[in-house]
Amino acid sequence: MRLFLASTILAGAALVPQAQQPGAQPAQNPASPAADQQPGLRVTSRNVVIDVIVTNNGKPVTGLSKDTFMVTESGKPQSVSFFEENAPAPQPQSVQIPKMPPDVFTNFSPFPTPPAVNVLLLDSLNTLTEDQSWVHKAALQFLKSAKPGNRMAIFTMGLGLHFIQGFSDDPSVLAAALSNKKNNEVENVGAITSQDEIVSQQNLIGLMSANTPFSTAANPDMIAALQNFMNENNFSRDVDRNYLTLENLQRLATFLQGFPGRKNIIWFSEKAPGIFVINSGVIGGIQTGNPSLSVTASRTLAMLAAARAALYPVDARGTSVNAVYKAENVISSANNSPQQMLGASNPTPGSTAATSQSAGSAAMLQQISQEDQDRNTDQLNAQLIADQSGGRAFANSNGLAEIIDKITSSSDNFYTIAYTPTNPNMDGDYRKIEIKVSGAKYQLSYRRGYFAVDDALPGSSLVVRSKEIQQLNQKAPGAVDPLLPFMDLGMPQSQQLLYKLRVFPAPAGTVAAAPSPAPSTPPNPQQDKSPGKDKTAYKIDFAVDASDLTLTPAPDGTRKGKVNISLAVYDRYANVVTHEEHLVDLNFPPDAWAAIQNSGVQLHAQLFVPAKGHYWLRTGILDRSSHKVGTMEIPLSAVVPLQQASK
């Protein structure tokens, strides 16, 4: 890909690839290496940050002061060092998202940054196939009726975590992404032991246990062995599914650490990992019945805490009847007696599965009882993991769209509390947090504890990443793109620099543009080659608001400046397909400045993207003088197809 300036207006500007600039500095103006080598005193303070939602009969309680909150950790009082009340900014009713012409996009949003953002997580790993389409329909119903300004992103969870749409204030953009045929496929992961499978297993056991005119019951030991095999197989599938679920939540938590504020994960799922918390004083932790899974669950909750992300599990089944009453349910004909269907009215005391018909008896009663037990367990697990993350679980409702609206509208009023623990040791123990509010019996929603590990520190992954970037920049000055921290897929768009973007497919046979390179730019042997049939060429036009840039006037009236330009194309797994960054010298003579003030600073780029697949283009601009940043992200599916563009 080549990036160049408009030849008519910006003829005096030169393109220099970022890697060729030894003097390039990142946007954050880090200290020079010499300064880093000076001896100094470093003090590390570890803070615990908690978001607390306070309600009274379902309505948010506002106006509380710092003194009304009492915080204890593992039973010991803590001193609140930071306190802030968060509430959504009032929005004028006349505000509307500007309508752009086809293939033209902007990073401008008329809405202020909200105190909390929301993530729709559609989970096919833990949801039966027949319920996935119902959830998808409910999510679309909400988005089509939602008001602009509710910042939200969309992910799906299968065997991996899939990106659908990054954070946007425009519900029409979110609805379009979710409606895209590449995103609305029903995924049959097959990780859940469905109720149909359980019924079939029970029918098989019932058939083997029954004496009929044509067959005799199987050996009780054989029946017991088969039952144990099926139970072990079901348990193994549940463990594997829970591992995948927790690992996907860890990936989502890592992504959400990239920006500040509270995040509400609205998680449509039928089953959540089964956890429970043991805590007595400073001793405690997560237990799952599997030691390795318990460690994974503990790390997941720690990473969610570090990202300030709360889970809101929503039972995707809604309200539904027991499977035994469904038309497709078939009970084995071998279970044809009242005792086998409903159980004996006077069972023999002390009877066992091996000595009576109970292994195959009460087929209908067993199915109803087992399904009720499984659903109650699923809902309890969802509530436990929600409590530990500071969210809330929802179940037994077919109004899934209404649940989304309730979560988004009730979770943007909250209080942020921070304190430095009296126990500074990062020993991995679970620390139980208890918060009380004086004045009335309010309902509080907050995470109930944390693990004393670095993963639980606010922004912990960002600290590690920042250090790595700084070290790399010190070893190879200019090698690190200063826009790198702003270019992650799905991050909210930065609006310090406002610009428009026109993206359109180039006609077939387009080759890479070949403007006159700057003196320090080596020739590119690939620039005159066609991308081939497996790639699509896209032309990209930038128009940057000149008033947002810091341009220094020279004595002759020429205005000069420098900007970094970064372009990245991602696939749905957040893998980088194409990435280019450039440092551009801006040099505007007086006769061109008047035109630039009206039309903006215009830049042109061209890149090639694989023809097959679903991809997102993320662009970024950095003013080297003011360090202002603008970013924008669009799905390439929103661009008019190549066939239409060539007409």
Average pLDDT rounded to a whole number, residues 329-357: 49
- Integer Cα distance of 284 and 50 in angstroms: 20
Any idea how long the chain is?
Answer: 647
pLDDT above 60: residue 261:
yes
% of the chain at pLDDT higher than 90:
27
Distance CA 546, CA 563 (A): 12
Residue 371: pLDDT above 80?
no
Question: What pLDDT is attached to residue 16?
Answer: 33
Calculate the alpha carbon distances from 215 to 207, 208, 210, 334, 335 in Å. 10, 9, 8, 10, 13
Global pTM value:
0.74
In sequence order, what are the beta bridge partners of 165?
A: 154
* Residue-level pLDDT at 340: 52
pLDDT band of 470, cuts 50, 70, 90: low
Alpha-carbon span 113 to 246, nearest angstrom:
30
Find the mean pLDDT for residues 262-288.
70
Query: Are the C-beta atoms of 411 and 324 separated by less than 8 Å?
Result: no
Q: What is the pLDDT of residue 114?
A: 87
SS3 227: helix
Q: Tell me, what's the pLDDT at 184?
A: 62
Tokens 């279970």 belong to residue: 335
DSSP conformational letter for 179: H
- CA–CA distance from 426 to each of 73, 292, 295, 420, 491 (Å)? 14, 21, 16, 13, 30
Residue 64 CB-half CA count within 13 A? 30
Q: Which pLDDT does position 130 carry in this prediction?
A: 79
Q: Could you tell me the domains of the chain? A: 2-35+477-645 (2.60.40.150), 48-87+413-456 (no CATH)
| pLDDT for position 468 | 59
Is 137 a residue whose pLDDT tops 50? yes
User: Does residue 154 contact residue 165 with C-beta atoms inside 8 Å?
Assistant: yes
Measured CA to CA, the distance from residue 512 to residue 606 in angstroms comes to 7
How far apart are the C-alpha atoms of 277 and 287, rounded to whole Å?
6
Dihedral (Cα; 131, 133, 134, 139), 10-degree rounding: 130
Q: pLDDT tens-digit profile of 493-519?
A: 888 899 999 998 877 555 554 333 333
**What confidence tier does 13 reach under pLDDT thresholds 50, 70, 90?**
very low
Indicate the range of 65-69, 112-116, 451-455 predicted with least confidence.
Answer: 451-455
More confident residue, 620 or 372: 620
Average pLDDT over the chain, rounded to an integer: 77
Dihedral, CA of residue 164, residue 160, residue 268 and residue 385, to nearest 10: -130
pLDDT digit string, tens, across residues 547-603: 899 999 989 889 999 999 999 999 888 889 999 888 899 999 988 888 888 888 998
Query: Tokens representing 471?
Result: 């070290």
Please check the confidence at residue 59 and state whether its pLDDT lies above 60.
yes
Q: How far is CA 79 from CA 388, 396, 416, 444, 450, in A?
A: 22, 40, 14, 19, 17
What average pLDDT does this structure show over 383-397? 91
The 3-state secondary structure of 32-87 reads CHHHHCCCCCCCCCCCEEEEEEEEECCEECCCCCHHHEEEEECCEEECEEEEEEEC
228 vs 362: which has the higher pLDDT: 228
Q: Which of 616, 611, 621, 619 lies closest to 634 in space, CA to CA?
A: 616
Residue 455 has pLDDT above 70, yes or no: no
Which residues, in sequence order, are bridge partners of residue 541?
502, 604
pLDDT at residue number 518 = 36
